[in-house]
Amino acid sequence: MNSVNDYAIYMLDAAGAVRSWSKGAERCEGYGAQEILDAPFETFFVPEDRALGLPAEILAKAREQGRHDLECWQLRKDGSRFWAQVTVDPACGDDGEHAGYATLARDLTVTRQAAEDLRRSEEQFRTLVQGVTDYAIYLLDPEGKVSSWNAGAQRIKGYAPREIIGKHFSTFYTDEDRESGLPAKGLATAARLGRFENEGWRVRKDGSRFWAHIVIDRILDDHGRHVGYAKITRDITARREAEQELANTREALFHAQKMEAVGQLTGGIAHDFNNLLMAIIGNLELLIRRLQHDPSSVALLNNALSGAERGATLTKRMLAFARRQELKPAALDLRPLARNLVGLMERSLGPHIGVDLAFPISLDRVLVDANQLELAILNLVMNARDAMPEGGRVTLGAQSVQVDEGHAVGLAPGRYVCLSVTDEGQGMDAATLERATEPFFTTKGVGKGTGLGLSMVHGLAEQSGGRLVLRSEAGKGARVEVWLPVAPSAAQGDTAPSPMDEPSRNGQLRVMLVDDDPLILATTAAVLEDMGHLIYEKSSANEALQALFDGVEADLLITDQVMPSMQGHELLAELRTQWPQLPAILASGYTETPLGLPGNVVRLVKPYSRAELLQAIDKAILSIAGYRHG
């Protein structure tokens, strides 16, 4: 007994007094043998257990039951406590009579503390898991049934613990994911690899969907046996929507930058092409005038002139896309314009295409160039016809709309008119719809379209302060909306200006002609000379100013806008300081000229015909009646 040091082993007599004491008892309890012999059993118990009569109860139960085991606090000699496992066995003498008790006490303080620490840790973990509300954290058994449920799971998925524990976790998946076997695949992957992670749609108790990030971890016991899974789900719908919004914004920015670059390129090409057409048209008109005696030659020249004019129309469309066309916006009532176009459209569209009008009784006037808008409507209707090879109906309609902050159309707040052209045709898929307004993009096949129709409408809408909106799905027709700003109230009663009368034929004028392109300079000079005017040709603004300073007398100045060193509007500004009443014409294919030009400066849009040049000269001379230099 004395060789056992890990246990306190001692004997009690029938009255419960200590009769023997081991080395282990001395180590555990702190008493030497001489100090503790004859001491009562209750010496080793804490005061509260003594007060309850626990020592006497233990001895009584040992005597009655043959043995009694329990765990309780024990008290050492120094007053410190330790948690002990106490075993008391009754002892009998040689005569078989009850003689006392054999007692064994083992110090379990370390073991109990470890167990208590574990219990506390597990309790803290349960509290932590239950306190997490941003994540659904729960356990699954090996078959995938829910075995625990935290507050976050209840908040995210909507189920109370009693509603979901015991049910299969596939309850949270969409019908299509269950049909594809995704829940089983997730468990199988976690069981094989230890972990499964992905994102996808999940379903709440109320049937609503949310985008979830999920993790399934395999759980093994101490012996390596698979006992279930730990499942963590996070609702990342807001993050996904934010990422998609950012991606959409980046895509919109990329598209805007691409279209701006294409617009710059298109505008530059159109400008150079305008100069070529100016030379072609001017020279063809001169030849037609000089070959009136040769009808066959005139016919050929007229054909060439028609081709050049078609080229001029093409450049106008290119400039419209680039938002560099010369517009003459005015307050316009769309209803009579649409009615006037119906007859023309019906004759052009053929017998299988019908046109319907859907206009309200009252409609705000819009601020737009009437001629350009007519061309835009005709383009849209022709596109609708081409989308319905078997026939159908085209609806031309409009409505006034108040656009507020955040409106889907993306325009500044204000009042607009939405002009729409709707067809029943083949429609456009998403890829086609995305590229539809790009210049030269067409689905009509080789030789059946320039690819500039929608581009021109897009440019007109943007330059007018509005927006072009396309709505279409493959096989479900298309709706094209042209949003235009409502004309200011002061302009609502305005009427479109009437065409000018035939220009009067002024006498011989001394014309200072300025253009940096020698081909345009020579051609325009030839046309003006054919009109009977005296021409001073200058290839730069500086040359023109120097000539005027040197005393060259001029009755009219005609200048190009885009020139090196000094542009046309800068020449005019310099001109006004010395010759404020000199009539002037500013010719350009762009609209990017200052709006604050003097009132007696006439704008002339390239490429222009002989008649348009005559008209501009007449208007410029009339603006300063009776002027003569010098």
Residue ranges of domains in the chain: 7-107, 126-235, 248-320, 330-491, 510-623
Report d(CA 566, CA 558) in Å as an integer: 15
- The band of 186, judged by pLDDT with boundaries at 50, 70 and 90, is very high
What is the mean pLDDT of the segment spanning 456-483? Answer: 85
CA neighbours within 13 Å on the CB side: how many for 201?
9
Report d(CA 147, CA 228) in Å as an integer: 9
Residue 593: is its pLDDT beyond 80?
A: no
Nearest to residue 40, comparing CAs of 64, 6, 10? 10
Q: What pLDDT does residue 5 have?
A: 56
Q: What pLDDT does residue 246 have?
A: 83
- Between 158 and 299, the higher pLDDT residue: 158
Q: How far, in Å, are 11, 114, 126, 200, 253 from residue 240 at the CA level? A: 75, 45, 30, 11, 20
Residue 322: is its pLDDT beyond 50?
A: no
Q: What pLDDT does residue 120 have?
A: 74
- Between 110 and 272, the higher pLDDT residue: 110
Least confident of 41-55, 190-204, 273-287: 273-287
Report d(CA 278, CA 427) in Å as an integer: 39
Peptide bond into 598 cis (omega under 30): no
32-41, 289-298, 488-497: which has the highest mean pLDDT? 32-41
Least confident of 145-154, 352-361, 464-473, 485-494: 485-494
- Between 30 and 624, the higher pLDDT residue: 30
Please count the residues of the chain.
Answer: 630
CATH superfamily of 330-491: Histidine kinase-like ATPase, C-terminal domain (3.30.565.10)
Helix, strand, coil percent values for the chain (each to nearest 5): 45, 25, 30
Both tokens of 196, joined, read 């499964």
Contact 486, 367 (CB under 8 A): yes
What is the mean pLDDT of the segment spanning 296-321? Answer: 68
What is the mean pLDDT of the segment spanning 421-432? Answer: 82
Q: How far, in Å, are 272, 544, 566 from residue 548 at the CA level? A: 29, 6, 16
Contact 532, 615 (CB under 8 A): no
Q: What pLDDT does residue 199 have?
A: 92
Q: What pLDDT does residue 505 have?
A: 46
Entry pTM: 0.39
Least confident of 216-220, 229-233, 247-251: 247-251
- Between 344 and 112, the higher pLDDT residue: 112
* AA letter at 476: K
Q: Give the pairing type, strands 68-75 and 510-514.
A: unpaired
Q: DSSP states of 383-400 as a string? A: HHHHT-TT-EEEEEEEEE
Contact 418, 401 (CB under 8 A): yes
Report d(CA 38, CA 592) in Å as an integer: 118
Nearest to residue 333, comparing CAs of 481, 463, 484? 484
What percentage of the chain carries pLDDT values higher than 70?
A: 80
- The band of 351, judged by pLDDT with boundaries at 50, 70 and 90, is confident
| Residues whose CB is less than 8 angstroms from the CB of residue 509 and which lie 6 or more positions away in sequence, other chains included | 533, 534, 555, 556, 617, 621
Report d(CA 254, CA 266) in Å as an integer: 18
Q: How far, in Å, are 14, 120, 444 from residue 89 at the CA level? A: 12, 34, 106
User: Which fold is adopted by the domain 510-623?
Assistant: Rossmann fold (3.40.50)
Contact 509, 556 (CB under 8 A): yes
Where do the H-state alpha helices sit in 388-486?
430-435, 453-463
Longest Cα separation, the chain: 163
Q: At what angle do helices 518-530 and 237-290 cross, to 10 degrees?
A: 50
φ, ψ for residue 254, nearest 5 deg: -60, -45
Residue 40: is its pLDDT beyond 70?
A: yes
pLDDT in tens, 366-407: 988 887 788 788 778 888 888 888 888 889 899 999 999 888
Residue 24: is its pLDDT beyond 50?
A: yes
- The band of 354, judged by pLDDT with boundaries at 50, 70 and 90, is confident
Q: What pLDDT does residue 497 have?
A: 37
User: Which fold is adopted by the domain 126-235?
Assistant: Beta-Lactamase (3.30.450)
Q: What pLDDT does residue 317 have?
A: 55
- Between 386 and 614, the higher pLDDT residue: 614
- The band of 251, judged by pLDDT with boundaries at 50, 70 and 90, is confident
Contact 497, 330 (CB under 8 A): yes
Report d(CA 29, CA 76) in Å as an integer: 5
The residue whose two tokens read 């009693």 is 162
Report d(CA 319, CA 592) in Å as an integer: 11
Q: What pLDDT does residue 295 have?
A: 80
What is the mean pLDDT of the segment spanning 101-105? Answer: 93
Confirm whether 126-235 and 330-491 share one CATH topology: no
pLDDT in tens, 508-567: 899 999 998 888 888 889 889 988 899 999 999 999 999 999 989 898 999 998 888 898
3 state SS of 106: strand
Mean pLDDT (the chain, rounded): 81
What is the mean pLDDT of the segment spanning 464-472? Answer: 87
3 state SS of 51: helix
Nearest to residue 512, comparing CAs of 599, 571, 430, 472? 571
Architecture of the domain defined by 7-107: 2-Layer Sandwich (3.30)
